[in-house]
Chain A
Amino acid sequence: MSAPATSAPKNEADNNPSSSNPQVDLSNAVIRFAGDSQDGIQTIGGFLAKLAGRSAREVMTYMTIPSTISGGPSIFQVHLGSGEVLSAGDEADFLVTFYQHSYNDHIASLRHGGVCLYDTDHVELPEDRDKDITYVGVPITSTTIEALGGTARDRGKNLFVLGLVCQIFRLKRDKLIEIVERQFGRKGEDVLRNAMLAFDAGFSYQIGDIFSDAYTLREGTSADTHRITTDGNTAIVFGLLAGGVRFGAGYPITPWSTIMEQLRSELPKYGGMFVQAEDELAAVSMAVGFSFSGHIAVTGSSGPGLSLKMEALSYATMAELPLVIINVQRGGPSTGLPTSVEQSDLMQAIYGSHGDCPRIVIAPKNVQDCFYTALEACQLAKKYSVPVIVLTDQALATRIEAFREPVVDEVVIEPELDLETRGEDFKPYPLDGETRHAPPGTPMAGGKYPVVTGLEHDEWGHPSSSPELHQKMTIRRREKIKAFAEEIDLPEIFGDEEGDVLLVGWGSTWGPIREATIRARSQDRSLSSIHIRYVNPLPNGLETLFARFKHVIVVEMNDEGLYGNGQLATLLRARYCDPKIRSLCKTDGLTYRVREILKGVDAIVAES
């Protein structure tokens, strides 16, 4: 069920060409575009990502979006690599700045020896600039306007820059043009013509000698030839569709909305339906209605919306109804940071409802895993008749990666509605067996029809407040989740099987933690890592892994709380009572940088 195993640790090739000798073959390049949100830098970033996917290169993108309605500073970063790409990159090798504010805000993200391309129409270089950086001024705005026939509009400068990048990095022009044509061709001939004019103007712009042979990206080495390039939210949509979801309901909230928008358009093709509900409470209630009707149903939201759904999720646990809930985490509490990343909904996902309310919570590690996690959530919800929460986040939702295309015939499920007559012995909640429901429309041979309830009930679903029964049913609901825990494999250790430091991560920190592990090991440090995909229930036997290391450090994007432990660390400490488990936390709304992790680890190890 899980995504294909990732490759073993490898030595990273040198990705620090010195400025004195720019004639270097790159295995890796981090390109950051800094402009405003309406400049279309996401569009060209997406093109580059798609090109990488087609060129057997690895890619990961990172973007910031202002939470304003329109406009505002925005960046799009593309990490292209001919080997494994695990993060969006700590620092940029190549920075394109469209405005003075872009320059001011992002010049520090450029590594020493990097290249800053700036629009001379908008950016003035300060006197005291970093001498290790190569500055290349191009009148991006005016050249684009000129190329497009002298109108005062500068739309198209993103494509001019794409042409420049294509020239500088010696990317495959024909392949890139094919991608541009596919996108812009849909918008009409004029749009495509202008796009190509701008692109060609950038591609043929005479930059001078600075870049001659400087940046040739090495060909990709990925063994996968059938690869798709997409973002995490889209991968979730297709995981749900493959998993048999045909009905769902939701309410708009960033960054969940793009999932519901896509489902609204996709589901009718499959004979299904996604309903935009009047609020979060209605959305989850409709989804419970779909589930009660015999379908695999989905609802979803982001932090604040998940809070609103909690009462109905408790009902779904009590009534033992299958339901998939996608939660795209963002910065909290409250409205918080709607367009930034955080992992602070873990406790809410596991414990947010009233009552003893066990359910399954899974967190995808990367874009590819978003597909398989959504798919698996559908299967688990059905198998255990329980709500399953998929805990993804803003960073995964919006970033683009290339990955091996799932084999459709192996994963796609055509759901069937089971309305076969139920026998006289029909018991939805047998104390010694699996939950089985009889959806509306099912004839009941015994003449007795089931009423699904949120009241405590007996094996037949009949309300009962018997103390003994409540105890037994509470155990039943708990034990089926524990039974699932038995099925979960112990996470594999990445790195040495024993040693000084074991990093523990969950969700989208997988990439940076893995890269940190690789970097530390290349410096002969004893550091390994594990990734926990199933956060509730946790896999059994983690203590056997922890025992092999001197330090166990849980890396999370949430706060260390009142007692110095992040949310997963708190759970692990509660379960294993092991003071060796420590926390590395942060809540700046940004994904972890590799050097932040390594620095944090050093500090924790030093103080213990």
Chain B
Amino acid sequence: MATASPPAEPEKLTKKALTADHPTWCPGCGDFAVLAAFFKVLEKLQIPHEKIVTIAGIGCSSRFPYFVNSHGMHFIHGRALPLATGVSLSRPDVHVFAFGGDGDGFSIGGNHLDHAARKNVNITYVIMDNFVYGLTKKQTSPTSPLGYKSKTDPTGAIDRPINPMKRLVSGGASFVGRTHAAQVKHMMEMFERAIRHNGFSVVEVLSECVVFYPGAFDQGNPRKGGEFNLIEEKQYDNTPEDEERHDVTDEAAAYAIANLPFPGKFGVFYQEERPTKNQLEQKWIDSTREKVGSATAAQLIQQRFDSLK
């Protein structure tokens, strides 16, 4: 069906080729670092340029597709994942990246997060979590901590925030990672592992909103006096220390880490290999096509008309 005709000599994918509009984010926004890390990982992985697809909903971080020179779509609030699902399922030849913030992902788009996760759709999803609604200028977000003062909670937030890691693991995401926008190397490692993972891979990046929630993530930033504690993953080296290390396939252990008080730990909380929806659907298509003897559309419709006579 595809009639792709890539250039005879594919040019090397560079940051320069990937750069589009200058981001409209505020100076100092954590999202700049996320964009830079994304470029670097793409440079390393050398995915063919025309096969990169960036998709986002609405929010500051959801402006992401405009700043990446690739096929992309800036969609409506909260629906980046179902849109990305449509692209991923119908176009196995492209790499689908979804970007968004905590409001887009955990609030208005919350239902879609669970279903993209349980279906294990092959998408890499980066959530830039800043604990606040920035584009609409400082309202409480689903991840704002208790007591956070915003325009919608002038005396401090009263509703318990979502725990993103628990939410993602319980939803069935097959790769769940957490990182910090001030830790570019770690962020790149998480992105690369998420991209290499076959299935629904999510990375939550604590990405500071310097205008409406400055200092929100200082506790996880050593340069600001905080601690950036990494999850130590099992090496399977038969050492006594390995006993204590985290088994990424252990769901209960992932919850235990997710329950640590803020800023908690960073790294891969959970990862499992299980069939993607893409694979399962394709399997059904293949066996059905075989059953109908690879008939043409005209033949198939004629057969059904005959059965209605």
Contacts and interface: CB of A to CB of B under 8 A. Distances in A.
B71 A440 contact: yes
A514 interface: no
Given A282-B111, A315-B75, A441-B94, A277 B305 contact: no
B300 interface: yes
Contact of A454 (B71, B74, B298): B74
B301 A292 contact: no
Contacts of A285: 75-76, 79, 82-83, 86, 112
A571 B54 CA distance: 41
Contacts of B263: none
A450 B71 contact: yes
Nearest to B88: A289
B83 A455 contact: no
Given A289-B84, A438-B71, A242 B301 contact: yes
B74 A420 contact: no
A443 B4 contact: yes
B79 A278 contact: no
Contacts of A294: 91
B72 interface: yes
B85 A449 contact: no
Contact of A278 (B3, B65, B78, B115): B115
A475 interface: no
Interface stretch (B138-146, B239-247, B252-260, B281-289): B281-289
A282 B112 contact: yes
A178 to B, nearest CB: 11
Given A416-B3, A441-B4, A441-B51, A409 B90 contact: no
B83 to A, nearest CB: 4
B69 A449 contact: yes
B3 A312 contact: no
Given A282-B115, A285-B79, A289-B84, A417 B292 contact: no
A227 interface: yes
B90 A414 contact: no
Nearest to B292: A269
Contact of B4 (A227, A272, A312, A419): A419
B50 interface: yes
A504 interface: no
Contact of A270 (B3, B85, B114, B300): B300
A439 B71 contact: yes
A557 to B, nearest CB: 28
Interface string A443-467: 1100111111111000000010000
B305 A228 contact: yes
Nearest to A319: B73
A447 B53 CA distance: 15
A268 interface: yes
Contacts of A234: 308
A293 B309 contact: no
Interface string B207-229: 00000000000000000000000
Contacts of B4: 419, 441-443
Given A249-B86, A269-B300, A440 B76 contact: no
A383 B135 CA distance: 37
A295 B90 contact: yes
Contacts of A242: 297, 301
Contact of A268 (B66, B78, B288, B295): B288
Nearest to B6: A443
Given A278-B115, A416-B1, A441 B86 contact: no
Interface string A117-141: 0000000000000000000000000
A312 B82 CA distance: 11
Nearest to B83: A289
B7 A292 contact: no
A449 B50 contact: yes
> Which applies to chain A's interface (DSSP): helix, strand, loop or mixed?
mixed
Interface string A384-413: 000000000000000000000110110011
Contact of A288 (B3, B75, B93): B75
A517 interface: no
B155 interface: no
Contact of B93 (A54, A415, A441): A441
A228 B83 contact: no
Contact of B76 (A249, A269, A415, A454): A454
B107 interface: no
B71 A417 contact: no
A414 B297 contact: yes
Given A268-B285, A311-B76, A440-B94, A228 B2 contact: no
A269 B50 contact: no
A561 B289 CA distance: 51
Given A288-B75, A292-B87, A452-B74, A441 B308 contact: no
A417 B76 contact: no
A421 B297 CA distance: 27
Nearest to B5: A421
A290 interface: yes
Contacts of A448: 69
Contact of B66 (A281, A283, A451): A451
B302 interface: yes
A241 B301 CA distance: 8
Contact of B74 (A54, A278, A440, A453): A453
Given A412-B298, A443-B50, A405 B305 contact: yes
A440 B91 contact: yes
Contacts of B51: 440-441
Contacts of B151: none
Contact of A418 (B3, B285, B289, B301): B3
Contacts of A241: 297, 300-301
B2 A312 contact: no
A238 to B, nearest CB: 6
A279 interface: yes
A226 B309 CA distance: 8
B17 interface: yes
Contact of B298 (A226, A230, A295, A408): A408
Most A-side CB within 10 Å, residue of B70, B86, B298: B86
Given A282-B111, A451-B72, A289 B85 contact: yes
13 contacts: A238-B301, A285-B75, A285-B82, A289-B82, A289-B84, A291-B86, A406-B305, A408-B302, A416-B1, A440-B94, A441-B94, A449-B49, A449-B50
Interface of A: 53-54, 226-230, 234, 238, 241-242, 247, 249, 266, 268-273, 275, 277-279, 281-283, 285-295, 297, 311-312, 315, 319, 405-406, 408-409, 412-421, 438-444, 447-455, 463
Given A414-B296, A414-B297, A451-B54, 10 more contacts: A228-B309, A266-B300, A275-B89, A282-B79, A290-B90, A295-B90, A419-B5, A440-B53, A452-B74, A454-B74
